[in-house]
Amino acid sequence: MSKIYEALLRAEQERAEKDRANLAATQTPAPAAQTPAAQAPPAVAQAQPAPDDVIAEIQALPAPEPVVHATPAPAVPRPIIPVLAPAIPEPVASTASPVAAPAIAKPEPQAPPPVHAAAAPAPPQTPRPIYSAPIAAAAKPVEVPSTPAPVAAVVAAPLTPVAPASFAPAAVAPASRPAPTDDRGFSPDKVRRYAWTPSFDTLPAIDDRGGPVEQFRSLRSRMFEFRDLNKTKSILISSGLPQEGKSFIAANLAISFARHKAARVLLIDGDMRRSTLHKLLGTPGETGLAEYLAGNAGLLDIMQQMEPAEEDSPASLGLASLTFIPGGSDVEKAADLSGNPRFTQLMQAVAPFYDWIVVDSPPVNVVADGVNLARACDGVLLVARSGITKYPSAQRALIELKASNILGFVLNAVETMPLTGGYYGYESYDSTQK
């Protein structure tokens, strides 16, 4: 290209010199005889042909390339995000739980174009993750790891669980059962009364005097001592094996409490597998403790008292202030019902209204019902039958009730009564020991 320009420049210079020479020749003064037309300079100076060697050199050169920059090309818009804004890493999608990715601070460009705001994705209007927490923007860009990080490493703020509305638990309709009586308005004066026919042969505590009466009075005195020392009010009567006389002791001890200053006593038959107390008192026992623990009856539905009898009758003295709760008829679920917390609620509800609460229970070496009921009582009395109960059986009963307050053992069915003869002037003692 440079040779072409030099050749053209040289040809132009030579042409300019020839033009100057021709111009100088035309300016020479002409003779006076010439006409005005001859004196006029030529209108156009004819260009002299270039030398042959220059033309040959120009023709030998290659054809010049077109000059592109002669006309300015239109400005092509450059990509905006790669050129004008730094690359922003995508938020990490954690697979541990559906938690929103943290917001990352973006450096502001010096002169953002109008379309830069539309290039960034708009945040969602309503957050959809289950867990939501205020997340502060980072002061500098966060380095995103190549592998998914745990949620605790990504989100610094504590997570607050927010249960969606669709996950709210629906109200479960209770099973169809008879509506029990409301226990909040309980009062001993509202207890229903029945015509009892007690068995006087198995309830010697109803008598005024005699050897068995004095023995139950002595046992009652020991219980008063425990109450003064340990605030004992509720007593569970149990044994290691069946047929050791626990129900007999429970019924007569409750009657002995009731005869002392007309104290209010509650007797509960907790042996729901084999109820016997209602037979000793001569009263119905279909609706009782089992129905209450199952939630099918209230306190006033299972409690009963004896109708007032004649003032001179022995029953009026020993049973007038006694309230009774039978075992009930639902014996198949006795194991589950004995551990029901409703028994503890029953004891707490009736405790302010009674001076003593006596609970009969099954043998603890056979079933666990007595151990479950003992947790709601202040103390436990174990019964052993003279000549029947073995020492290992009594020791095992103590081990079964080791978490309870053991008050002591009651030896039942003793053949030789203590304090024989006419001691204290009670001549009836001699007749009771035959």
C-alpha angle with apex 145: 139 to 146, nearest 5 degrees?
150
In this structure, what token pair is assigned to residue 230?
């340990």
Contact 325, 269 (CB under 8 A): yes
Lowest mean pLDDT: which of 10-24, 140-154, 304-318? Answer: 140-154
pLDDT above 70 coverage of the chain, percent: 57
Q: What is the pLDDT of residue 302?
A: 95
236 or 150: which leads in pLDDT: 236
Tell me whether residue 328 is exposed, middle or buried, using C-beta atoms within 10 angstroms of its C-beta: 0 to 12, 13 to 18, 19 or more.
buried
pTM over 0.75: no
Q: What is the pLDDT of residue 161?
A: 38
User: Domains plus CATH for the chain?
Assistant: 228-412 (3.40.50.300)
The string of pLDDT tens digits covering residues 14-53 is 888 888 888 877 765 544 444 444 444 444 445 455 556 6
Q: Calculate the CA dihedral of residues 289, 290, 296, 298 and round it to 10 degrees.
A: 10
Which of 109-113, 185-189, 378-382 has maximum average pLDDT? 378-382
Lowest mean pLDDT: which of 146-160, 199-213, 272-286, 295-309? Answer: 146-160
Q: What is the pLDDT of residue 415?
A: 80
Q: What is the pLDDT of residue 131?
A: 40
Count CB neighbours of 1 within 10 A: 10
The string of pLDDT tens digits covering residues 388-398 is 999 999 999 99
The string of pLDDT tens digits covering residues 123-147 is 555 444 444 334 344 344 444 344 4
Tell me whether residue 195 is exposed, middle or buried, using C-beta atoms within 10 angstroms of its C-beta: 0 to 12, 13 to 18, 19 or more.
exposed
Q: What is the pLDDT of residue 65?
A: 56
Closest to 370 measured CA to CA, from 330, 341, 397: 397
157 or 329: which leads in pLDDT: 329
Q: What is the pLDDT of residue 3?
A: 75
For the residues 221-249, what does the mean pLDDT come to?
Answer: 93
- Give the C-alpha distances (Å, rounded to integers) separating 116 from 78, 79, 89, 363: 13, 11, 17, 86
Q: How far apart are CA 365 and CA 238, in angstroms?
A: 10
DSSP string, 303-360: -EEEPP--TTSHHHHHSTTEEEE---S--TTHHHHHT-THHHHHHHHHGGG-SEEEEE
Closest to 156 measured CA to CA, from 179, 134, 130: 134
Q: What is the pLDDT of residue 394?
A: 95
Q: Distance of alpha carbon 383 from its chain centroid, rounded?
A: 45
Lowest mean pLDDT: which of 81-85, 151-155, 199-203, 313-317? Answer: 151-155
Q: Is beta strand 356-360 parallel, antiparallel or unpaired with respect to 234-239?
A: parallel
Q: Is pLDDT of 419 > 70?
A: no
The string of pLDDT tens digits covering residues 254-268 is 999 999 888 999 999
Count CB neighbours of 207 within 10 A: 16
Q: What is the pLDDT of residue 8?
A: 81
Q: Could you identify the residue written with the tokens 């029945």?
A: 194
Contacts of 237 (CB under 8 A, 6+ apart): 246, 247, 249, 250, 253, 358, 359, 360, 361, 380, 381, 383
Closest to 376 measured CA to CA, from 406, 347, 338: 347
For the residues 67-91, what does the mean pLDDT come to?
Answer: 50
In what helix (H) or strand (E) does residue 160 lie, and over which residues does it extend? strand 160-161
Q: What is the pLDDT of residue 217?
A: 94
Q: What is the pLDDT of residue 329?
A: 87
Three-state secondary-structure class, residue 384:
strand
Which of 68-82, 128-142, 231-245 has maximum average pLDDT? 231-245
Q: How far apart are CA 174 and CA 171, in angstroms?
A: 9
